[in-house]
Amino acid sequence: MREQYSILLAVAAGVLILIVTVVFALIQSPELLNFPESPLVKSAVVIPHQVDGRRDCVRCHGARGVQPYPARHTGWSNTSCRKCHAAANNAVQMQAEAASAEKKRSGQPMPHPLPGREHCDRCHGPEGILPYPDDHAGWHNETCSRCHPQGDVGQKQG
């Protein structure tokens, strides 16, 4: 009985020390805690301006701002923005991103209605009937409407 108490105490101490060794290893090399980033993070538009002193993103990018965010961002707070949108590192990158954003905003409008056709890659993927350009490789359905607004569908159909 006393021997069992001793063994239990030793096992408890061993487990505790083992936990601390794991914590130590995680502090030193935390890669096991880094969950894989969502594909959306990589594809999100880089912020093409300085972010210092501009913490209230919604002021400019809210539904009534000068550069509104997409409708599906409605209800998201300022703290969410930088989880997907990285800030440009320098002036050159800012200019490039600004130009890219402008170009993206001028993407070709969709010539068909969107509801019921959210899986763009079925038709526009590499093996679809009307594939997207090579520089769109790796992008996802969620990103298409960022640059390709829904066009005047009624006119086309007519």
Partner 1 sequence: MTTKLVLRSVLLIGVYLAVSMAPLFAMLIGPTPPGRGFWREFSVALGFAGLAIMGLQFFLTGRFRSLTAPYGIDVVYHFHRAVSLIAFSFILLHAGIIPLAGPETLHLLHPATSPWWMVAGIAGLLAFAVVIATSLYRKQLGLVYERWRGIHGTVAVVAVALAMTHIGGVGYYAQGYVKRGLWIALIIGWVLALAYVRLIKPMIMLRRPYRIEEVAKERGRSWTLTLRPEGHRGMNFMPGQFAWLTLGASPYSIREHPFSFSSSAMEPDRLRMTIKELGDFTSRIGEVRPGTRAYLDGPHGTFTIDRHGAAGYVFIAGGVGITPVMSILRTMADRHDARPVLLLYGSIRWEEITFREELDELPARLNLRVVHVLEEPPEGWKGESGRITAELLARHLPADRMAREYFICGPEPMQKAIRNAMDRLGLPMEHVQSESFNFV
Residues that bind partner 1 (CB under 8 A): 1-3, 5-7, 9-11, 13-14, 16-18, 20-22, 24-32
**Do 106 and 148 form a contact (C-beta atoms < 8 A)?**
no
Distance, CA of 47 to CA of 42 (rounded, Å): 13
3 state SS for 17-31: HHHHHHHHHHHHCHH
Q: In angstroms, what is the minimal distance from the CB of 7 to partner 1?
A: 5
Q: Output 14 or 70, the one with its CB closest to partner 1.
A: 14
Q: In angstroms, what is the minimal distance from the CB of 35 to partner 1?
A: 14
Residue from 63, 39, 52, 40 nearest 87 by CA: 52
Q: Output 30 or 115, the one with its CB closest to partner 1.
A: 30
Q: Output 7 or 99, the one with its CB closest to partner 1.
A: 7
